[in-house]
Amino acid sequence: MIIYDESAKSFYLEGKNFTYALRVTPDGYLTKDYFGKKIARADLGYYKPEWVKSFNPVIPGSKALFADIMQEYATAFLGDYREPALIPCDGRGVKIADLKYDSFRLSPEKKPVSSGIPTARGGETLEITLRDFDSGLKVILYYTVYPDLGIITRRAETVNGTDGEIKLERALSFTLDLYDSDFELLTLWGHHAAEKTPERIPLHHGRTTVGNVRGTTSANHAAFAALVRPETTEEQGEVYASALLYSGSHYESAEVDEAGRTRLCAGINPESFGWTLSPGESFETPEAAICYTDEGIGGMSRAFHDFFREYVIDPKWAKRRRPVVLNSWEGMHFSFDHDRLFDTIDALRGSGIELFVLDDGWFGARSNDKAGLGDWYVNEEKLPGGLRAISDRCRENGLEFGLWIEPEMVNPDSDLYRAHPDWAITVPGRTPVASRNQLVLDYSRPDVLSWIKETMYRVISEAGVSYIKWDMNRPLTENFSRFLPAGRQGEVQHRFVLGMYELARFLTESFPDILFEGCSGGGGRFDGAMLAFFPQIWTSDNTDADDRMQIQYGTGLVFPLSASSNHVSLSPNIRNGRIIGAQTRTDVAFLGTFGYEFDVRKYPADEYARIAADVEKYKKIAPLVLEGDVYRKGMRPRDNACVISVVSKDKSSAYVTFYQALNPHKTKPRFTVPGLDPDRLYRIEELDLTLPGSVLSQLGLVIPRFRGDFCTASFLLTAV
Ligand code: DGJ
């Protein structure tokens, strides 16, 4: 609910559990009065801590200090020396935006953005216009409250209302001022095959920042940051978190000032950004989903999960069970031909697996990763009969067919690059910087974008597929486009991301029945904006079940299990050689969108034989995994054991996974079950037990000893 109180000149944005209160000060600035646990509506103008006294610049014509305002969208160089959201630069080099309140508008529905950046669906939206009355520059702040969740979204649009060019040197999505600094900062760092490792560190005076300038979300830092109280645990305590719906270079920062206040901000990374606005033009930032909860880190996860499932992921897919796939990558890499593929497909008949995915290597001169990207025609030498023949073979065996693409890339050793070297992001006169032997196509060029749209449309229409895996295997470098003038080179990265969104929108809308899975060398582009196009994303190239427990935990801090694509692969694991039994590998992969990734010739017969039953089990638990609320206890590798409960919204059923790394000999495994209704009785068939939720959550379960390390046990609980 959003309310404007004219007498107090205040806006109250009220979600399920929070109040977000803004006020126009007597000097005309928009200040944040409060954000936190829901409070009664009141005129909060009485609360004047006068934070910072000595020698601070005074607002002209007033006695108040700039530094005292809890600026809702902070600007720089007037007297608030904390981190700004916006730095505009006019033709004279003046970088001031003295943003004062101008007007507001309440709309029952969220309006779509014009730049093509994906935003969450949503209802009641508040637009507050701020204006620099001297220059004419305008900023429109957009707020959508999700009344059933502890979530509010924010974004900003800067309109050049001046009569000259304005160059934006930074335009973040939001700044968020809080009154104190009794926080720790929780972020997710990582690298390829080790995505989304939680890191929780105390704040200090000054700025603590994360982010990256790779032009893509990256495996290195997720577009996420949370302020958590030092005492906040998995189930209790306050959390203020931001998840950015953006897939390019991003930036998150928490600054503690000399008055002990904290300013959290996030948005496009200013280091690799610049944007020129002609008079009348505007720039839209990505949207940030901001969560408040006092139910701990688990409460934050559940709010974000609901948000992404209900308001971001295409409703057609969000809660639909996806087909169980076998992906060719780990089993075959590039070494396949017609016979090997046909043998694999034939072997899958009746296995329970529902869809075969042909990964990298089917096109151009692609027998390794050194050549062929960009040449999107089938390699007839490897695959006489083309993709249709493979698709037909799949259907004859009762399978659907899926295909891998990497549309944003080109190998220098490709017909495409030989014909159009200028289509890649490189600098004339300099040796191009390759990564995985490939270059990035310049999506800021309309000709490149229309070529790739046409090409991918042809590939997908001709292949007979019901699934596409869209990969992206390198970050951006050079950040130079031949298409743009010198003064606009700062726009390359963001224009690339906008071009990628345009392609993703075009393809997903052109093929509404095809399931698209995102991928970027694993989970390198696992962010809220990609979920608007791809209901599931390959979580990591690391399929080792133990490493995966950490990666899936980190991913699940923000994103729903339904979005996390997980596969059972061969043991010993191809990446780290760890030996883990089929039961554990399957139970871990069950906690998401489920599939396999192995060489059928090497997969042990006993493990192969269990697939059908495992797929049947997955079908049974899928509604819980896709729609349920997640409750966690413990996290790998910090804890030897952990528990993940996925509980139905009405708490009538739960799917509980217990994971234990090393096998202690001192006791049988025992654990408590989080998330149940304490007052209901739950039946656990596997243990022949019926117990109240309160007993299961307090005393818990004791289960038979495991033989060996890295073991799981899983249970379906049904309220009786
Ligand atoms: C990286 C992906 O994460 C893998 O799953 C696979 O698709 C390879 N790229 C193919 O090049």
pLDDT surpasses 90 at 545: yes
Asked, for residue 557, whether it belongs to a domain, the answer is yes
Any domain includes 24: no
Model pLDDT for residues 324-359, shown as the tens digit of each residue: 999 999 999 999 999 999 999 999 999 999 999 999
Alpha helices in 475-518 (DSSP H): 492-510
Q: Do the beta carbons of residue 138 and residue 161 sit within 8 Å?
A: yes
The residues carrying an active-site annotation are 471, 541
Burial of residue 6, with CB atoms counted within 10 A of its CB: 0-12 exposed, 13-18 middle, 19 or more buried: exposed
Mean pLDDT of 514-533: 98
Same domain, 357 and 423: yes
356-410: pLDDT as tens digits: 999 999 999 999 999 999 999 999 999 999 999 999 999 999 999 999 999 999 9
Domain-embedded: residue 436 = yes
Within this chain, do residues 446 and 496 fall inside the same structural domain, yes or no? yes
Comparing C-alpha atoms, which of 547, 550, 553 is closest to residue 573?
547
3-state helix, strand, coil in the chain (%, to 5): 25, 30, 45
The proportion of the chain whose per-residue pLDDT surpasses 70, expressed as a percent, equals 100
Q: Is the pLDDT of residue 498 over 80?
A: yes
Q: Do 540 and 514 belong together in one domain? A: yes
> What is the best residue among 218, 326, 329, 335 to mutate for testing ligand 1's pocket, by most ligand atoms within 8 Å of CB?
329
Q: Are 534 and 562 a contacting pair, CB within 8 Å?
A: no
CB 390 within 8 A of CB 382: no
**Model confidence pLDDT, tens digit, residues 595-609:** 999 999 999 999 999
Q: What is the pLDDT of residue 49?
A: 85
Task: Give residue 619 CA to ligand 1 midpoint distance, Å.
Answer: 26
Q: Do 470 and 420 belong to one domain?
A: yes
Residue 133 lies in a domain: no
Q: HSE on the CB side for 36, CA within 13 Å? A: 14
Query: Looking at the domain assignment, is residue 292 inside a domain?
Result: no
- Taking the CA of residue 519 as reference, the ligand 1 atom at the shortest distance is 3
Q: Residue 48: its pLDDT value, please?
A: 86
Residues 591 and 661 placed together within one structural domain of the fold: no
Cα–ligand 1 centroid distance for 136 (angstroms): 49
The residue nearest atom 4 of ligand 1, judged by CA position, is: 521
Residue 52 confidence (pLDDT) above 90: no
How far apart are alpha carbons 147 and 124 in whole angstroms? 9
Instruction: Answer yes or no: do 676 and 609 share one domain.
Output: no
Q: Which domain CATH number covers 521?
A: 3.20.20.70
Same domain membership, residue 647 and residue 620: no
Q: Do 529 and 674 belong to one domain? A: no
Distance CA 552, CA 561 (A): 8
For 168-208, write each residue's pLDDT tens digit.
999 999 999 999 999 999 999 999 999 999 999 999 999 99
pTM of the predicted model, to two decimals?
A: 0.98
In a domain, 574, yes or no: yes
- Is residue 192 included in any domain, yes or no? no
Whether residues 679 and 612 share a domain: the answer is no
Q: Where residue 692 sits, what CATH number does that domain have?
A: 2.60.40.1180
Phi-psi region of 474 (alpha: psi -120 to 50; beta: other; left: phi over 0): beta
| Domain around 668 | 641-719
Q: What pLDDT does 117 receive?
A: 97
700 is a domain residue: yes
Partners of 167 in beta bridges: 89, 276
Return the axis-axis angle of helices 446-463 and 492-510, rounded to nearest 10°: 30
Indicate the Cα dihedral angle 683, 684, 685, 686, nearest 10°.
-170
Please give the tally of structural domains in the chain.
2
Band of residue 222 on the pLDDT scale cut at 50, 70, 90: very high
CA angle 257, 262, 263 (to 5 degrees): 100
Same domain, 363 and 434: yes
Mean pLDDT in the chain?
A: 97
Contact between residue 654 and residue 717 where contact means Cβ atoms under 8 Å apart: yes
CA of 406 from ligand 1 middle (Å) equals 9
Closest to 381 measured CA to CA, from 401, 367, 370: 367
597 and 562 share a domain?
A: yes
Residue 65 forms beta bridges with which residues? 58
355 in the same domain as 451? yes
714 closest CA partner among 636, 649, 620, 627: 620
Over 90: is that where the pLDDT of 295 sits? yes
Please tell me the distance from the alpha carbon of residue 484 to that of residue 490, in angstroms, as a whole number: 9
Question: Sorting pLDDT into bands at 50, 70 and 90, what band is 665?
Answer: confident
> E-assigned strands of 234-392?
239-245, 250-256, 262-268, 275-277, 282-284, 287-293, 325-327, 355-358
Confidence of residue 216 (pLDDT cuts 50, 70, 90): very high
Among 466, 482, 468, 450, CA closest to 518? 468
Q: Are 343 and 151 contacting, i.e. CB atoms less than 8 angstroms apart?
A: no
Choose the final residue of a domain: 599, 627, 655: 627
Last residue of a domain, one of 598, 627, 656: 627
